[in-house]
Amino acid sequence: MQVLLGEDFKRALKNYPKEDRRKIAEFIAHVQQNGLSGLPGRNKSSDNVPADDPQWLEKVRFAQRHNLWHYHIGIPKYNGGRYGDLTSAYILHYTLCDGFIKIIGFDRHPPFILPDIPK
C-alpha cells in the first residue's frame, strides 16, 4: 500500500523528536509492505465518536466524508491491551483511500479532536 504525507504533516515531521520520527517511519514501512494488517497499535475509523458528544452527527459525517482513520503510534509508549489493540497518548490521523493512505496529522489523544483537512 502506498503512503503519502500531507504537506503540513511533512513540514512538522522534521521538527519531531528523533524517536518519534523513527516510530512514524516504522509505521510507514509496515503499511508499505503489509498494508494495515498486523499493526501492534489500535487502528480505527475516526467516525466512532462518543454518543454524548454535542457535535456527534457533525463529527461522524465529517470523518466519513473524508475517510478519516487514526492509529495509536506508540508514542511515547504503548499502554496495555492485546497486540493489535494497544493504545498510546499520541495518534496519527490519516485518510484511507483506494490503495493508499495519506497521513495528515499527529495529535495527543485524549482528547480526540478531528484534524483539519489540508487543501
- The domain in which residue 12 lies consists of 2-108
Query: Does some domain include residue 119?
Result: no
The pLDDT value recorded for residue 92 is: 98
CATH of residue 55's domain is 3.30.2310.20
Q: For residue 46, count CB atoms less than 10 angstroms from its CB and return exposed for 0-12, middle for 13-18, buried for 19 or more.
A: buried
List of the chain residues with pLDDT < 50 = none
Instruction: Name the amino acid, one letter, at 91.
Output: I
Classify residue 30: in a domain, yes or no.
Answer: yes
Residue 118 lies in a domain: no
Query: What is each CA distance from 81 to 3, 26, 42, 84, 94, in whole angstroms?
Result: 27, 20, 9, 8, 23
Into how many domains does the chain fold? 1
pLDDT for position 72: 97
Task: Say what the pLDDT of residue 118 is.
Answer: 61
